Structure formats: C-alpha cells, structure tokens
Amino acid sequence: MAGTRSLLLLPGDGIGPEVMRQVRRYIDWMARKRGIEFTVEEGLVGGAAIDAQGVPLTDATLEKAKAADAVLFGAVGGPKWDGLGFDMRPEAGLLRLRKELDLFANLRPAKVFDALVDASSLKPDIVRGLDVMIVRELTGGIYFGEPRGIEDLGNGQRRGVNTQVYTTAEIHRVARIAFELARKRGNKVCSVEKGNVMESGLLWRQEVTALHRAEYGDVELSHMLADACSMQLVRNPGQFDVIVTDNLFGDMLSDEAAMLTGSIGMLPSASLGAPDADGKRRALYEPVHGSAPDIAGRDMANPIAMLLSLGMALRWSFDLHTEADMLEQAVQNVLRTGMRTSDIMQPGMARCSTSVMADTILRELDKLAA
Ligand code: NAD
C-alpha cells in the first residue's frame, strides 16, 4: 500500500488552517520517522473557497475528494459570510461533500482522557474512563425526508412540515458499521430510537434486531428510547460502548456525549460511506469544533481534535492501527505532563499555544517511536 495512500486536506476557515498545519507536520513526521508516506493534496472549502473561487466547494475540489482515500476537513464559517444565502454559505461546502460522497455514518467518539477528568461538568467518578462511540445516521431521516417545507394556510396561519423516513437498507448499513465497530471495542451496541411513538423508530428497532440475529449474534445488543438514552448519558455514561441512532437523535446525543468530555477542542469525528468493490470506503474526517473566529489567527486553538481526526483516518482508511494508537498515547502523555491549550486550561497547569502543543506531541511521538 506504501506510496498509494492519498489524502485531501481541506483546511477551510478560521482556526481550520492553523490546526491543519499541525496535521501536515505530523504527516511529515510519519514519513521521516516511520517511513509511511502519503500523497497529499490541499484544496479550498467554505469561506476561503467563496472568496477565491466564488462557491463554497468547486466541482474540481469535489472530484479530488472523490478520488482521495480520505478527506481531512478543518472547519468552515465565520461572520464575514453570515449574510449569504443558504446555498452560498460556507457550510454548504461541507453539506455538499457529505451528500456527494454519500457519507451515511457519522462516528463521534466521546472519550475522557484521565488528565482531563476534572474538565467535565459531571463528577469525575461518573466520567472517569468514559469511552463511548456514537454512530449517527447522517444522510437520511427527518433532515432529508419529503414532504417538507413551510406552507401558507391563507388565514394568517402557516404550517411547517418535516418527515422522518427510513428504509431497511438505510438502517442496515449504519447498524452494520456499529456492530463492526463494537467487535473491535467493547462488543456492545445500544440502538436508540422512539419506537414507542414513531413508526420509523419501530422499524429501526425491528431492522436492527433482524440484522443482529442474522449476522452479529456475537455482539451484545440492547435497545433504548432516545429520551431515556439522553438521561442515561449523564447518569451513567460508562454503561455504553457503541450507540447507534438516527440523524436527529444522533445530532443531539452526540453533542451531549461530547460535553461529557469537557472540551470541544479534543473531539474528532469521522463520516464514512459505503465500501466499493475493493472494500474501500469514502471517508471524511474532521474535528467536531467549528472555525472559532473568536480565537482565529492567534495560535491559541487546540490542535488535538484535528490530530485525533487524522488518527481516526489512520485507523479507518489506512489500517494503520499501531500509528493511531501511538498518536493517542502521545496525546495522553502530553496531557499528563500538564501542558494545556487555553480551552482546557486548569489551575496549576502550563498554558501553551497551538504550535507548542503540536511540538510537544511530536516530541512525545519521537520517544514512543524510539
Ligand atoms: P466553534 O466550535 O467554532 O466555537 C465554540 C467555542 O469553542 C468558541 O469559544 C471557540 O473559541 C472554542 N473552540 C472551538 N474549537 C476550539 C479549539 N480547537 N481550541 C480552542 N477553542 C476552541 O462554534 P461556534 O462559535 O458556534 O461557530 C463558529 C463558526 O464555525 C460559525 O460560523 C459556525 O457556523 C461554524 N461551524 C462550523 C463547523 C464545521 O465546519 N464543521 C461546525 C460548527 C460550527
């Protein structure tokens, strides 16, 4: 596989380019110290693309994204582009990528690093050791279902409509990812819906159960209603390994789980498509955070979410599990020394910049690789 690994970097706006710069440094480190090379291309997306190319994502960049083994996305958006119409906003670039690459499964790990156990708003006892993976269906459900729209009823009243709709195939493909993931982790899947009040939720439960019975009987499967799950996530999050859920509930539950960890600057994510004939999936990796215009250009952003997003790419797109483990270990070790960017700063710790955090992680990797 050496020499054939291709990455498209789309840094975007705000802190996107600053954190992506650290990814470049890590990629160079991999080539120098591990002999693992990537073919790297870079493109514009979001506000940066609007300014230079007139649209948030050009067809040419989209084609590069389709051709790459993995896309690494920074963040898009900022006040400069807030007044633009919906289709011309920076976020439209990301939505188009997700749609055109058919990225139907969004993986959002919520992991609490030991050194940051006090950063959570929950008691340390509740979040210590937390390691939950939320698999959210990303291209179906109520955000895309028809009919939709706002209708004028002509009597001074209006009516807003969205439709929650799922098919067997849509449920199976995302559930399959959850089961496969669970096999590599704690071997437990909790499927979440509102089957008590929604037919689409009932279908979800039945189809996940059928797939489990047919192909994944070795994985422990449980079911939970979405409202109960949101309570359990703050009450006893340690009970979960992999949660699989639809687009709407996944949107909310993944943000809730993210907050258990205490910092948005630490959280990576992956969005995966269907495997092609060679078993290779289209994939886009990005930090959960946005473009953080309030700190952009000040070398203050935490680069860890972006670096861990690359870590997910190493695992999911390139099968480089040893290197992914090393990167996570390096992050753990550096946090243990007390080094903190301002978003995760705590009393008695040492505040550092984006670049110094990345320098320190690279030095730690040197030690681990020695
Ligand atoms: P945000 O995530 O950009 O920032 C929220 C807060 O977290 C800010 O105070 C910011 O300084 C801080 N923060 C975020 N990432 C950080 C990091 N790596 N290190 C340190 N601090 C960090 O969310 P927002 O303020 O709601 O949105 C800002 C812009 O980003 C908006 O234009 C929004 O549309 C866009 N956005 C983009 C994406 C994306 O590209 N996927 C996601 C969310 C928001």
Give the count of domains, the chain.
2
* Candidates 64, 102, 188, 255; catalytic one: 255
Number of CB atoms found within 10 A of residue 154's CB = 7
Please tell me the distance between residue 36's alpha carbon and the centre of ligand 1 in angstroms.
32
166 Cα: distance to centroid of ligand 1 (angstroms): 31
Summarize the confidence of residues 239-258 as an average pLDDT: 96
CA of 265 to the centre of ligand 1 (A): 9
276 and 247 within one domain: no
Q: Specify whether 276 is located in the same domain as 250.
A: no
Residues 175 and 90 in one domain: no
Instruction: Decide if 290 is inside a domain.
Output: yes
Q: Is 218 considered catalytic here?
A: no
Residues 75-98: pLDDT tens digits? 999 999 999 987 889 999 998 999
Query: Are 208 and 299 contained in the same domain?
Result: no
- CATH number for the domain that contains residue 213: 3.40.718.10
pLDDT of residue 1: 45
Instruction: Decide whether any atom of ligand 1 lies within 6 Å of the 77 Cβ.
Output: yes
As a whole number, mean pLDDT of residues 143-155 equals 95
**How much is the pLDDT for 262?**
80
Half-sphere exposure of 72 (CA within 13 A, CB side): 32
Q: Confirm or reject: Cβ of 264 under 6 Å from ligand 1.
A: yes
Q: Are residues 89 and 136 in the same domain?
A: no
Which of 116, 289, 340 most suits a substitution to test ligand 1, by most atoms within 8 Å of the C-beta? 289
Do 254 and 317 fall into the same domain?
no
**2: pLDDT confidence band, cut at 50, 70 and 90?**
very low
119 lies in a domain? no
Q: Which residues contact 295 (CB under 8 A, 6 or more apart)?
A: 15, 301, 342
Region 159-179 average pLDDT: 97
Distances (CA, A) of 63 to 39, 60, 287, 347, 353: 16, 5, 22, 47, 35
The per-residue pLDDT for 270 is 97
Q: How far is the CA of 203 from the centre of ligand 1 (A)?
A: 35
Q: Which of 143, 188, 325, 359 is catalytic?
A: 143
Residue at 116 is within a domain: no
Q: Ligand 1 centre from 82 Cα, in Å?
A: 14
Q: What is the mean pLDDT of the chain?
A: 95
Give the pLDDT of residue 263.
81
Mean pLDDT of 156-185: 97
What confidence score (pLDDT) does residue 7 get? 98
Q: Domain boundary residue among 234, 260, 286?
A: 260
Residues 144 and 203 in one domain: yes
> What is the per-residue pLDDT for 175?
98
Q: Do 137 and 246 belong together in one domain?
A: yes
At residue 264 the predicted structure's pLDDT band, cuts being 50, 70 and 90, is: confident
Q: Same domain for 234 and 268?
A: no
Same domain, 256 and 199: yes
**Annotated catalytic residue 251:** yes
Please report the pLDDT score of residue 280 as a whole number: 83
Q: Provide the domain limits for residue 165.
A: 131-260
**Residue 327 within any structural domain of the chain:** yes
Nearest to 16 by CA among 306, 368, 352: 306
Domain assignment present for residue 344? The answer is: yes
- Three-state SS string across the chain, please? CCCCCEEEEEEECCCHHHHHHHHHHHHHHHHHHHCCCCEEEECCCCHHHHHHHCCCCCHHHHHHHHHCCEEEEEECCCHHHCCCCHHHCHHHHHHHHHHHCCCCEEEEEEECCHHHHHHCCCCHHHHCCCEEEEEEECCCHHHCEEEEEEEECCCCCEEEEEECCCCHHHHHHHHHHHHHHHHCCCCEEEEEECCCCCHHHHHHHHHHHHHHHHHCCCCEEEEEEHHHHHHHHHHCHHHCCEEEECHHHHHHHHHHHHHHCCCHHHCEEEEEEEECCCCCEEEEEEECCCCCCCCCCCCCCCCHHHHHHHHHHHHHCCCCHHHHHHHHHHHHHHHHCCEECHHHCCCCCEECCHHHHHHHHHHHHHHHHC
Could you confirm whether 278 is annotated as catalytic?
A: no
Mean pLDDT of 259-280: 88
Q: Which of 233, 260, 287 is the last residue of a domain?
A: 260
Q: For this structure, is 143 an active site residue?
A: yes
Residue nearest to atom 23 of ligand 1 (CA): 290
Is 216 among the catalytic positions?
no
Q: What is the pLDDT of residues 102-113, one digit of tens each?
A: 999 999 999 999
- Tens of pLDDT along 207-235? 999 999 999 999 999 999 999 999 999 99
**pTM of the full structure:** 0.93
Options 241, 246, 251, 343, the catalytic residue:
251
237 and 190, same domain (yes or no): yes
Q: At what angle do helices 168-183 and 199-215 cross, to 10 degrees?
A: 50
Q: Which of 205, 237, 260 is the last residue of a domain?
A: 260
117 inside domain: no
Please give the backbone phi and psi of residue 329, each rounded to the nearest 5 degrees, phi first. Answer: -65, -40
Residue 81 included in any domain: yes
- Asked whether residue 304 falls in the same domain as residue 270, the answer is yes
